[in-house]
Chain A
Amino acid sequence: MPDLLIELLSEEIPARIQGFAAQELRKNMLSFLAEQGLSEIAATAFSTPRRLTLFMTGIPEKSDDFIEERKGPRVDAPQKALDGFLRSVDLELGQLNVKRDGNVDKYFASIKTPGRISTQIVAEALEKTIRTFPWPKSMRWGVSSLRWVRPLKGILCIFIKDAEHQVIDLQIDGIRSGSCTTGHRFMAPDYFTVKDFEDYKLKLRNAFVILDNRERSEIILNDANNLAFANGLDLINDDALLEEVSGLVEWPVTLLGKVDNEFLDLPSEVLRASMKEHQKFFSLKNPKTEKIERFITIANIESADNGATILEGNQKVLYARLSDAKFFWENDLRLIQKDGLDTWLEKLKNVTFHNKLGSQADKVLRISALTKKLVGPLACDGEAAVNGASICKSDLISEMVYEFPELQGVMGRYYAISSGYSDSVAKVCEEHYGPKGPNDPVPTALTSVAVALADKLDTLLGFWIVDEKPTSSKDPFALRRAALGVIRIILENDLELDLVELLYDHLEDLSQYGNKPDAVSELMAFIRDRFRIYLRDKNIRYDVVDACLEVGNVGNLNLIAKRINALTNLLKSDEAEDFLQGFKRANNILAKAEQKDGVEYSYGADGKYMEVDPEKELFKALTKQHSIVKQAVSDEDFPKAILAISKLRKPIDNFFEFVQVNSDNDIVKRNRLNLLGQIRTTCSLVADLSKIEGQLR
Chain B
Amino acid sequence: MNVVEPKSFQEIVLRLQNYWSDNGCAILQPYDMEVGAGTFHPATTLRSLGENNWAAAYVQPSRRPSDGRYGENPNRLQHYYQFQVIMKPSPENFQDLYLGSLEAIGLSMTIHDIRFVEDDWESPTLGAWGLGWEVWCDGMEVSQFTYFQQVGGHDCKPVSGELTYGLERLAMYILGINHVMEMPFNPPDAPVPLKYGDIFLQTEQEYARWNFDAANTDILFKNFEEAEKECERILAHSELDPKTGKKIIMVHPAYDLCIKASHFFNLLDARGVISVTERQAYISRVRNLAKKCADCFVQTPAGGQKN
Report if B189 contacts A (CB, 8 A).
no
* A302→B53 CA distance, assembly (Å): 39
* A-facing residues in B65-110 (Cβ within 8 Å): 74-75, 89-92, 95, 108-110
Q: Are A141 and B159 in contact (CB under 8 A)?
A: yes
* A217→B161 CA distance, assembly (Å): 33
Most-contacted residue by chain A among B95, B139, B173 (CB, 10 A): B139
Q: Which residues of A contact B116 (CB under 8 A)?
A: 11-12, 49
Q: Which residues of A contact B120 (CB under 8 A)?
A: 137
State the Cβ distance, B52 to closest chain A Cβ, in Å: 12
B115, B131, B138: the one contacting A309 at CB < 8 Å is B138
Q: Are B118 and A141 in contact (CB under 8 A)?
A: no
Report if B206 contacts A (CB, 8 A).
no
Q: Are A314 and B110 in contact (CB under 8 A)?
A: no
Report if A299 contacts B (CB, 8 A).
yes
> Per-position contact with B for A48-72: 1 when CB-CB < 8 Å, else 0?
0100000000000000000000000
* A300→B135 CA distance, assembly (Å): 13
Report if A553 contacts B (CB, 8 A).
no
Q: Are A309 and B111 in contact (CB under 8 A)?
A: yes
* B-facing residues in A317-375 (Cβ within 8 Å): 317-318, 320, 323, 350-352, 355
Q: Are B113 and A301 in contact (CB under 8 A)?
A: yes
Q: Are A314 and B74 in contact (CB under 8 A)?
A: no
Q: Which residues of B contact A300 (CB under 8 A)?
A: 113-115
B114, B138, B157, B161: the one contacting A317 at CB < 8 Å is B138
* A186→B158 CA distance, assembly (Å): 29
> Per-position contact with A for B161-201: 1 when CB-CB < 8 Å, else 0?
10000000000010000100000000000000000000000
Report if A304 contacts B (CB, 8 A).
yes
Q: Are A16 and B138 in contact (CB under 8 A)?
A: no
Q: Which residues of A contact B113 (CB under 8 A)?
A: 299-301, 303, 310, 313
State the Cβ distance, A540 to closest chain B Cβ, in Å: 41
State the Cβ distance, A399 to closest chain B Cβ, in Å: 13
Specify the chain A residue showing the minimal Cβ separation from B109: A186
Report if B4 contacts A (CB, 8 A).
no
25 A-B pairs within 8 Å (CB atoms) are namely A11-B116, A12-B133, A15-B117, A15-B118, A16-B118, A139-B131, A139-B147, A139-B159, A140-B149, A141-B89, A141-B161, A150-B131, A186-B114, A300-B115, A303-B112, A304-B108, A309-B112, A310-B138, A310-B139, A311-B138, A313-B113, A316-B138, A323-B74, A352-B277, A355-B277
Report if A151 contacts B (CB, 8 A).
yes
> Per-position contact with B for A80-118: 1 when CB-CB < 8 Å, else 0?
000000000000000000000000000000000000000
Specify the chain A residue showing the minimal Cβ separation from B118: A14
Q: Are B139 and A142 in contact (CB under 8 A)?
A: no
* A310→B137 CA distance, assembly (Å): 8
Q: Are A140 and B138 in contact (CB under 8 A)?
A: no
Q: Which residues of B contact A312 (CB under 8 A)?
A: 138
State the Cβ distance, B207 to closest chain A Cβ, in Å: 21
Report if A305 contacts B (CB, 8 A).
yes
Q: Are A11 and B95 in contact (CB under 8 A)?
A: yes
Report if B14 contacts A (CB, 8 A).
no
* A-facing residues in B254-292 (Cβ within 8 Å): 275-277
Q: Which residues of B contact A143 (CB under 8 A)?
A: 89, 158-159
* B-facing residues in A365-413 (Cβ within 8 Å): none
Q: Chain A: how many interface residues by the 8 Å CB criterion?
A: 42
A140, A248, A304: the one contacting B117 at CB < 8 Å is A248
Q: Which residues of B contact A304 (CB under 8 A)?
A: 108, 110-111
Specify the chain B residue showing the minimal Cβ separation from A311: B138
State the Cβ distance, B217 to closest chain A Cβ, in Å: 17
Report if A558 contacts B (CB, 8 A).
no
Specify the chain A residue showing the minimal Cβ separation from B133: A12
Q: Which residues of A contact B109 (CB under 8 A)?
A: 186
Report if B38 contacts A (CB, 8 A).
no
State the Cβ distance, B23 to closest chain A Cβ, in Å: 16
Report if A297 contacts B (CB, 8 A).
yes
* A312→B138 CA distance, assembly (Å): 8
Specify the chain B residue showing the minimal Cβ separation from A304: B110
Specify the chain A residue showing the minimal Cβ separation from B135: A12
Q: Which residues of A contact B90 (CB under 8 A)?
A: 141-142, 151
Given A11-B116, A142-B89, A151 and B139 contact (CB-CB distance below 8 Å): no
Q: Which residues of A contact B91 (CB under 8 A)?
A: 142
State the Cβ distance, B54 to closest chain A Cβ, in Å: 13
List the 6 closest A-B pairs by CB distance, nearest first.
Answer: A313-B138, A14-B118, A12-B116, A314-B139, A142-B89, A299-B113
Q: Which residues of B contact A323 (CB under 8 A)?
A: 74
Q: Are A320 and B74 in contact (CB under 8 A)?
A: yes
State the Cβ distance, B200 to closest chain A Cβ, in Å: 19
* A279→B173 CA distance, assembly (Å): 16
Q: Are B118 and A142 in contact (CB under 8 A)?
A: no
State the Cβ distance, B138 to closest chain A Cβ, in Å: 3
Specify the chain B residue showing the minimal Cβ separation from A324: B73
Report if B130 contacts A (CB, 8 A).
yes
Q: Which residues of A contact B178 (CB under 8 A)?
A: 316
Given A140-B159, A142-B90, A350-B276, A313 and B130 contact (CB-CB distance below 8 Å): no
Most-contacted residue by chain A among B110, B120, B276 (CB, 10 A): B110
Q: Which residues of B contact A305 (CB under 8 A)?
A: 111
Q: Which residues of B contact A316 (CB under 8 A)?
A: 138, 140, 173, 178
State the Cβ distance, A184 to closest chain B Cβ, in Å: 11
Given A137-B120, A352-B277, A317 and B139 contact (CB-CB distance below 8 Å): yes
State the Cβ distance, A176 to closest chain B Cβ, in Å: 14
Q: Which residues of B contact A311 (CB under 8 A)?
A: 138
State the Cβ distance, A63 to closest chain B Cβ, in Å: 37
Q: Are A279 and B111 in contact (CB under 8 A)?
A: no
